[in-house]
């Protein structure tokens, strides 16, 4: 069958590919510890599951408005106003099947072929994929270990040209777990205003922060409300990856455009998933704090364990549930080492290069797995590295 040439410009997310490889090994009887997947290993809290069951029985089984059910948009606007420190109205919200469509829709809606888009590298691979897909120029902004994987504002300044249309931010950050400070964001906001940039702020890990850090969004800085599209959702904070429930919060004038893209693709987000979302945001939040406390214990274990492996050097990340150790000391390329660990140690992780060219020299481990499995994986990785 003919495949249209535009598909060649689309990238992918290798976490899904590694998962397939790992599952194939498991089918042959091999035991694999999964540290490649980017999803909480916890169950969705019972209160949220119950809300969905009630919604199903109450008839939330039909199409809804493209931008989302009005009372769900209202609950999201209230949540965002509470957590971002500035008021949002429900007319600024579009509910989507997961946060990911906001990436696709925002870039499709705002970026011309002749434009440039600056994005973090290493970073979530779909940014670069979609920028290329719309025919724009993808301009990588290297995140450096010596800067704790926060973007360097001076580097950013050097990449902005008259053609720069959009800047993509992601804090807390996948794959490094780094976060941008309030001061970083203030300086980035000044640049965005000065150069009239649209900012796509991926805040999907906003609830997963450690050591007393609180999430700060760029949207609250002067001049940013009219140029910021926030991507957030339920997948990570409430362990709801399979529910496909996320949202974008944006200037009101953009909402009908994003809703139109939704009409042209998904029609709408599943109505009973949306209803469960109201409970997630408005109900008691101790399940989130418990999950984050458990992630924190695992973070200590994996950071200490990796730092004890010869050739590995690992920063302690401040957010999300990933570590991004430097493995240059092993003398191996990231992809080769990731493959070696899968086959030799039975530990699935991702090559840093799955997150862009500046990911060479690193691996990504997700610590969304039990402490017991993490300890086991660390021993196996240690033994496999010794064999190199």
Tokens of 285: 């939040």
Stretch that binds ligand PLP, among 83-91, 98-106, 295-303, 361-369 (CB under 6 A): 98-106
Element (H, E) at 277: helix 271-282
The nearest distance, CB 243 to ligand PLP, in angstroms, is: 9
For ligand PLP, which residue of 98, 125, 178, 319 counts as binding (CB under 6 A)? 98
DSSP 173-188: -TTT-----HHHHHHH
Binding mask 28-57 for ligand PLP (x = CB under 6 A): ----------x-------------------
Residue 241 engages ligand PLP in binding (rule: CB under 6 A) = yes
Contact call for residue 204 and ligand PLP (CB under 6 A): yes
Distance CA 347, CA 378 (A): 9
CA distance 176 to 172: 9
- Report angle CA 249, 254, 260 to the nearest 5 degrees: 105
Sign of the Cα torsion 30, 35, 37, 40 reads positive
Closest CA to 329 of 312, 315, 341: 312
356 sits near ligand PLP (criterion: CB under 6 A): no
Reduce the secondary structure of 13-60 to three states and give it as a string.
CHHHHHHHHHHHHHHCCCCCEECCCCCCCCCCCHHHHHHHHHHHHCCC
Quote the least distance from Cβ 234 to ligand PLP, whole Å.
7
Residues 248-307 that bind ligand PLP (CB under 6 A): none
Pick the closer one to ligand PLP by CB: 189 or 200. Answer: 200
> Quick check: 125 binds ligand PLP (CB under 6 A)?
no
- Residue placing its CB nearer to ligand PLP in the complex, 90 or 171: 171
Our CB check for ligand PLP shows the closer of 338 and 378 to be 338
Residue 319 interacts with ligand PLP (CB under 6 A): yes or no: no
State the Rg of the chain over Cα: 21
Cβ 331 to ligand PLP shortest distance, Å: 30
Chain positions contacting ligand PLP, by CB under 6 A: 38, 98-100, 124, 170, 174, 202, 204, 233, 235, 241, 246
């Amino acid at each position: 069958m003919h495949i249209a040439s535009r598909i060649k410009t689309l990238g992918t997310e290798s976490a899904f590919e590694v998962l397939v490889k790992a599952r194939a090994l498991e089918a042959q009887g091999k035991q694999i510890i999964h540290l490649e997947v980017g999803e909480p290993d916890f169950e969705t809290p019972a209160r949220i599951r119950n809300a969905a069951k009630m919604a199903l029985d109450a008839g939330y089984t039909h199409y809804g408005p493209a931008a989302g059910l009005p009372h769900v948009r209202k609950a999201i606007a209230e949540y965002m106003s509470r957590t971002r420190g500035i008021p949002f109205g429900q007319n600024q919200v579009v509910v989507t099947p997961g946060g990911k469509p906001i990436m696709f829709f925002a870039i499709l809606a705002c970026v011309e072929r002749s434009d440039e888009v600056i994005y973090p590298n290493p970073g979530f691979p779909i940014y670069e994929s979609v920028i290329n897909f719309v025919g724009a120029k993808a301009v990588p902004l290297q995140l450096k270990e010596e800067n704790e994987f926060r973007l360097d504002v001076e580097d950013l300044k050097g990449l902005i040209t008259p053609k720069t249309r959009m800047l993509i931010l992601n804090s807390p950050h996948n794959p490094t777990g780094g976060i941008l400070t309030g001061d970083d964001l203030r300086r980035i906001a000044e640049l965005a205003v000065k150069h009239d940039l649209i900012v796509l702020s991926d805040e999907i890990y906003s609830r997963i922060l450690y050591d007393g850090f609180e999430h700060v969004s760029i949207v609250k800085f002067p001049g940013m409300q009219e140029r910021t599209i926030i991507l957030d959702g339920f997948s990570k904070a409430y362990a709801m990856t399979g529910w496909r429930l996320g949202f974008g919060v944006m200037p009101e004038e953009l909402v009908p455009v994003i809703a139109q893209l939704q009409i042209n693709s998904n029609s709408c987000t599943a109505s009973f998933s949306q209803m469960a979302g109201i409970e997630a945001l408005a109900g008691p939040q101790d399940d989130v704090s418990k999950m984050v406390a458990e992630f924190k214990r695992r973070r200590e274990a994996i950071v200490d364990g990796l730092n004890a492996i010869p050739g590995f050097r690992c920063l302690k990340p401040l957010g999300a549930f990933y570590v991004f150790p430097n493995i240059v000391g092993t003398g191996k390329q990231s992809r080769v080492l990731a493959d070696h660990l899968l086959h030799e140690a039975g530990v699935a992780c991702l090559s840093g290069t799955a997150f862009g060219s500046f990911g060479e020299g690193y691996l990504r481990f997700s610590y969304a797995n039990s402490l017991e499995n993490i300890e086991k994986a660390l021993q196996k990785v240690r033994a496999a590295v010794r064999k190199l």
